[in-house]
Structure formats: structure tokens, C-alpha cells
Structure 1
């Protein structure tokens, strides 16, 4: 009897049911779209952060920034005096940021509570200067050349013309990686596409892995050599960054990098993996407390330095979008409840008659709640369909967002000590811009949330209508009989 009456009433009141379902669908669709876009924003930010962090890295430890004016080193280039037009060439290997930590710091960090693993790395910049000096030519004034008067010193009058210097400056980055622990650090954010990675036994071997983009630019390949400050390294592999730019142009074993930079037993960055992802802040506090003179940077710290359209869109999705979804959803629930209550008011004669025939108030209320629940479920189905269509449209269009990683303070000079030209994540002095394609993935959790909202909407609307129906009396129906 319940379902027969329910089916008949829904057919008879199709327009009213469609209005209620459409209102709920709008709110549910907006929730799905905002949730999926927010999820896409989160994944986009993860890609940005991953371009600096290695996979599995929770935080980095670098040397604390030196105070301004504390004697920061500057690169110096010296040239020998040679004959005219002779080509001059010199290069300089510099530790990025000119700030290093003792290798023993890696062990100290690894022994802190909550640290699952720690590995050190040395980030270098190689600057190569090539060019030549050209001596100028002295030309006398025409009068002096023709026997005219000379200057007071008896020297011919004239000027030096031409000459000068022309130099090209090229630079590339080198990262010294601990080949015995390759599951942590920047190299893990790249995939070996040609050749192989380092062997654990190659701790001091003259071998290198080069980034694919750099290899293409310099026409490098596996089994060829790349020269770093006069030392030739055999290329054993070519890597391609999973997203964004690679952490370095050339990767070499850590000991080799220390030799190149004359930084024995030194590292610029310690990459840390926490035993529990929920305890990252606790681990950070412990490291800062127990190891003085260091700066600990987590992915959350790095996220604060992300700006550009990605950051703006993320803020809109997480704040404006969230509150807009809530407002629309609340409005949809209220409208559904009011429409259901209004529909009950128009059915006074019907419900009054049913009560006169023996229906109890509870049965009438259940009938109204049942109708409202079906309307809510229809709204949920429609809302999920519209929401999925909206999310698919965002993914299909794939709007490009720009993420800019700027300086968050720290190291002077060239930056800190990590890869990418900065002192580990969050300490870059030069802005780095990445273009990220936005997607809007819809998870099962989002769908289940939409179903729950549909049921909740139906129950809220049914509560309004049921409360109104429970207050009806048979006498109300008799008053409306003509």
C-alpha cells in the first residue's frame, strides 16, 4: 500500500517533484565540482612540490641562513696574461649558497625520534667563462701625424681605439647523490629513460646521470662523457623529470661532488623521511631543538611559497568555492523543505480524509517523508550526473595554471644548499615558474558524499512536510468540502 500510494502521488505531482529534485541537484552538483577541482588543485601543488622534493621526502635540513654582511663569498675568476686574441677559459665549481653542513649531520638527523631515513646531498653550480681580450690600437691625431705640434710632454697626441673583451658565461648544476641510498632525494623525482642509474659500489666512480633536457641541449648520450671542471665523467644513464624541471643537470656520486667543490665530508641538504606522516611537525621540532644551526623545511612550508594562478585558484576553490557550495546546499535544502511543506498544505483535504478513514498521524508522516526521500534521491542522481559532467569538462579543457616558487628567505649569495638553485625547498632566491595542467578527478568518497547529501536533503524536506502533516486533523478536511 505504501509504495502504491507513493508511486501514484509522485506521478500526479511530477512538476513539484522535479522542482524539489532540481534544487537539490544544483547544490549536490556544485559540491562535486568544487570537491573535484580542489582535489585537482591539491594534486597540482603536489607536482610543484615534487619538482623540488624527491619522492618520499617529508622535509629537508639545511644550514641556517647566514646573517647579512657576514662575509658571504663571491665567485672570482682569474685570467692569465696571454698574447692578443688568445682565448681565455676558466671555470668555477661553487657550492650553491656557499653554506654546507658536516656529513655527520646526516647521522645525527637519522637518530632523531620519528625519522625513518635520512640521506645527504651536495648541490653545486658550475660556471664556465670563455672569451678573449683584444688589445686596442693607438691612433695619432692627423696634425701630429703630419709633423704638427706635439703635446707639452713631447708625446704624440691621439687616442686608443678598438680593443675590449668578449666573454660568454655558461652555467649548469651538478648534484652529488649518495649512491648507496637512492630511494630518497631529488633524483627519485626523475625516471631513468635510457641506460641505468648508479650502482651502490660506485661511491667514488667517475660516472654520471644527466637530465634528458640537458642531454638534448648539449648532445649528450649514454656512454659519452660530460666534463665538469676538467674532469670527465662517463654517462651511464639519462633521466627524465616526472613533473616540472629536473633537480639538476648532472648527477654524480656524492664523493665526486665533494672532490669537485673541495668540500670533503660536506653536504648542503639532508633529505628526511618521517616514520609517521602525521608526526612531521613533531619531527621538525625535534631536529631544530637537537641540531643547532640548521633550518628544517617541510612540504607545508614550501607550499606557502607557491604563488601565481595555481595559488590563487587553489585559494578560491578552498575558500570561496567551499562556502559557495555550503550556501547553495543550505538554500537547496531549505527550498526543498518549504516546497514540501507547502505541498502538504495544499493536500489538507487528502490527508484529512485519510485520517478520517483510519490512517494514523505516523502513517501520514511516513508517507510524506517517503515522497520527499524519493525526490531527494532523484535530485542526487541528477546532481551526480551534472557534477560528473562538470568535472569531466574541467579535465577535458585542462586549463593551464602557473605556479611560481619564490624565495622564502634564507641563504645569501647563490641561495641555500639544495638542488634547483636554492637551499633546499623553500630557500630559493630566484623564482622558478612551472606550468601545471589542471584536472578535476572525482573520487568514490565524493560520490558517496553526494549520495549522503541527497538522502539528507530528502530527510530534511520530509521533516518539514511530515511535521506539517502530523498537525492536520480530519475536521480540517471537512471544512474544505464544498
Structure 2
């Protein structure tokens, strides 16, 4: 009897049911779209941060920046030999990024802290190569020299008059970055932000081998190929792999074993960065506090710290989705619930004679209330189905369009990535990220829950109204 009466009433009051369902559908669809876009923003930001610190790395430890005036920053110097029989000059300089290093023992010290699952050291270098020629000038004597003023030339100075023509210098400056990688712990460090697209990665036994993995963009620019050699400060390294950054710029142009990097820079048993992986993502803040307390003279940077340095349209859109979008969807949903409740209550008021007659025939107030709530719940489920369909369609449209957002990366110290060191002055980088709006199962379940809640709210309004009706009201309205 319940379902028979329910089906008949919903069919008889299609327009009212459609209005209630449409209001709920609008609110639910907006919630799905906003939730999906927010999820897409989070994934886009994860891509940006991945390009900064790599997969598996929860935080990095670098040397604390020196106080202003505590020490001058080393400037690169290039010296050329003056040779009469050679005009071509070439020299290069290997410099530690940030000019500040930590003792290699810091890696062990950090790895021993409570909550640290693993730690690996890395050495970030910048190589500057100057290559070019000095061109000798030619002295051109004045044709009238020696004709006036006595011997030796005009004016009697004893020197021929003329000028030096031509000459000068032409030099090319090439700069690239080198990252010393701990080949025994390749699940940590800068190379984890790139994938090997050709060849192989380092082997654990190649701790001091002259091998290198080269970033694909740098390899294309310098026409480097797998199996060839890349020269760093006069030392040739066999290219065993080509890596491509998963998102944004690569952490370095060339990756070599850590020990080889230390030898090139003359910094044996020193590192610029300690890459840290926590035992639990929920303990990152506690691990950070422990390292800062127990390992003095260091700066600890987490992915959350780097997230604060991401600016641009990605950051703006993320703030809007988290702030304005969330409040807007909540406001629309609340309004939809209220409208559904008021419409249901109004419909009950127009059915006074019907419900009064049913009570006169023996229906209890509870049965009438359950009938009204059942109708409202079905309206809510219909609205939920329409809302889920509209929300999924909206999220799919966002993914299909894939609007491009920009993320400008920079750190308080001017570096663009974890591991650059507090003293580095890497220019800010801008990444283009395609926005997607993935719809998760949890979002759909939330939408179903909202549909049921909307039906119950509407039914609560109508049921309360129906429970107050008396059979006498029906008799008064009988014509």
C-alpha cells in the first residue's frame, strides 16, 4: 500500500516533484564540481612540488644561512695564461650551489633521528665554462711618419706615429648544473623527480664510476647521446641514461655519482643537501622539529614550506576553489534544502483534505508522516541522480577543456627547489599546468548522502506539517 500510494502521488504531482528535485540537483552538482576542481588543484600542486623535491622525499636539510656580514660570498674567478703562440683560451670553474656545505656525517646524524625512515646526501654544483679567443691587433704606421720633426717621426719623439687596429676578445660562457647523487639510495634525491626514458639509471656499485645520467632537454640542446660522453671540468663521463623530468624543469642537467661530484668540487666528505623520508606522513612536522633541535646549524624545508612559495594563477585558483567555491556550494546546498523543505510543506498544506480524510479512515499520524517523508526521500534521490549526472558532466567538461594554469616557483632564499641551498640565487621558474577535475568515488558517495539528507530535510518539514492535521479539517473543506 505504501509504495502504491507513493507511486500514484509522485506521478500525480510531477511538476512539484521536479521542482524539488531540480533544486537539490543544482546544489549537489555544484558540490561535485567544486570538490573535483579542488582535487585537481591539489594534484596540480603535487606535480609542481614533485618537480621541486622529487618523489619519496618528505623534507630536505641544508646548512643554515650565514648572518649578513658574517662572511663574503665567493665570486668565481677565471684566469687565462698569456701565450704568444696560442690565442685560444678555455677554462671552467666548478662551484657549489649556495657556496655552503654540510659534513657528510650530517646524513648519518639526520638518519638517526626518531621518525626518519631514510636519509641520503646530495651535492649540487654549477659548472661555468668560458671558451674563446684573444685576437691580436695590428699596428698601422702613419705614412707621414718620419717626414717631419726629425728622426723617429713627427715631433722628434723617437716613436713612429700610427694606431693599433683590430684585436679584442670573443668568449662564450656556458653554465650548467651537476647533481651528485647517492647511487646506493636512488629512491631519495633529485633524480627521483625524473624518469629514465633511455638507457638505465646508476647501479649501486658505481659509487665512484665515471658515468652520468643526462636530462633529456640538456642532451637535446648539446646533442648528447646515450653511450657518448659529457665533459665536466675536463673529466669525461659516459652517458648511461637519459632522464626526463616528470613535471617542470629537471633538478639538474647532469647527474653523476656523489663521490665523483665531491672530487670535482674539491669538497670530499661534504654535501649540500640531505634528503629525508619520514616513517609516516603524519609525523613530518615532528621530525622537522627534532632535526632542528638535534642538528644545529641546519635549515629544514618540507613540502608544505615549498607549497607556500607557489604563486601564480594556480595558487589564486586554488584559493578560490578552497574559499569562495566551498562557501558558494555550501550556501547553494543549504538554500536548496530549505526550498525543498518549504515546497514540500506547502504541498502538504494543499493536501489537507486528502490527509484529513485518510486520518478519518483510520490512518495514524505516524503513517501519514512516513508517507510524506517517503515521497520527499524519492524526490531527493531523483535530485541526487540528476545532480550527480550534471556534476560529473561539469567535471568532465573542465577536464576536456584542461585550462592552463601557471605556477611560479621560488623559495625564501631565492632557490627554486629543495636542495638548492639557502644561499642559492636560482631565478624563479614558471610552470604551465593543465587543470583536470577528477571525480572520485568518495565525492559520489558524498553526493548520494546529500541527496538522502535533502530528502529527509524536506520530508521533515512536510511530515511535521502533516502530523498536525486533524480529521475535522477535512470535513470543513468538503464542498
TM over 0.5: yes
* Partner-residue secondary structure (3-state), 1:448: helix
Match of 2:28 in 1: 28
Contact persistence 1:62–1:296 (CA under 8 A):
yes
Q: Which stretch has the larger CA shift, 100-109 or 173-182?
A: 173-182
Name the structure 1 match of 2:449.
452
Among residues 372, 376, 382, which one is paired with 1:378 in the alignment? Answer: 382
| Deviation (angstroms), 1:65 | 1.1
Structure 1 distance, partners of 2:261, 2:416, is 16
Gaps of 5+ in 1: none
Taking a change above 3 Å as real, the CA distance of residues 84 and 316 of structure 1, as seen in their structure-2 partners, is farther
Instruction: Indicate the residue corresponding to 1:252 in structure 2.
Output: 256
Cα deviation, 1:385-419, whole Å, max 9, x if unaligned, reads 00000111111111111111023126xxxx59965
**Matches of residues 32-431 of structure 1 in structure 2 within 5 Å?**
32-69=32-69, 70-83=71-84, 86-137=87-138, 147=148, 150=154, 160-409=164-413, 422-423=420-421, 429-431=426-428
Contact (CA 8 Å) 2:97, 2:424: kept in 1 or not? Answer: no
- Comparing 441-450 and 219-228, the one that deviates more: 219-228
How do 1:441-480 and structure 2 match up within 5 A?
Answer: 441-480=438-477
CA contact (8 A) 2:411 2:417 kept: no
Any idea what the Cα deviations from partners look like across 1:134-172, whole Å, max 9, x if unmatched? 344556778868748956967666665543322111111
**Bigger mean CA offset, 366-375 vs 139-148:** 139-148
Question: 1:151 and 1:342, CA in 2 relative to 1: closer, same or farther beyond 3 A?
Answer: farther
* Compared CA separation, residues 427 and 157, structure 1 to 2 (3 A): closer
Give the 5 Å matches for 1:4-19: 4-19=4-19
Q: Distance in 2 between matches of 1:153 and 1:108?
A: 75
- The answer on whether the counterparts of 1:62 and 1:416 sit within 8 Å (CA) in structure 2 is no
Aligned-partner Cα distance in 2 for 1:416–1:443: 32
1:83 deviates by 3.8
1:243-281 CA distances to partner (integer Å, 9 max, x unpaired)?
Answer: 222111111111000000000000010000001110100
Evaluate the alpha carbon distance shift between residue 346 and residue 417 of structure 1 in structure 2; reply closer, same or farther with a 3 A threshold: closer
Q: Bigger CA drift: 443-452 or 81-90?
A: 81-90
Pair 337,44 (structure 1): closer, same or farther in 2 beyond 3 Å: same
What CA RMSD, in Å, does the superposition of the two structures yield over aligned residues? 2.2
CA 1:90/1:481 → structure 2, altered by over 3 Å: closer, same or farther? same
Task: State whether residues 192 and 238 of structure 1, in contact with CA within 8 Å, keep that contact through their aligned partners in structure 2.
Answer: yes
Q: Residue 437 of structure 1: which of 426, 431, 434 is its match? A: 434
Alpha-carbon contact 2:52-2:416 (below 8 Å) kept? no
Change (3 A) 1:302 1:146: farther
Q: Is the 8 A contact 1:123 1:417 kept in 2?
A: no
In 2, Cα distance between the equivalents of 1:24 and 1:145? Answer: 105
Distance 1:3 1:226, change over 3 A: same
Report the CA distance between 1:361 and its aligned residue.
Answer: 1.1
TM-score by length of 2: 0.94
Cα distance in 2 for partners of 1:394, 1:417 equals 30
SS across alignment from 1:409: coil
Distance 2:160 2:28 in 1: 92
Q: Distance in 2 between matches of 1:477 and 1:34?
A: 47
Q: Normalising by structure 1, report the TM-score.
A: 0.94
Give per-residue Cα distances to partners, 1:84-115, cap 9 Å, x unaligned. 88121110011111110000000000000000
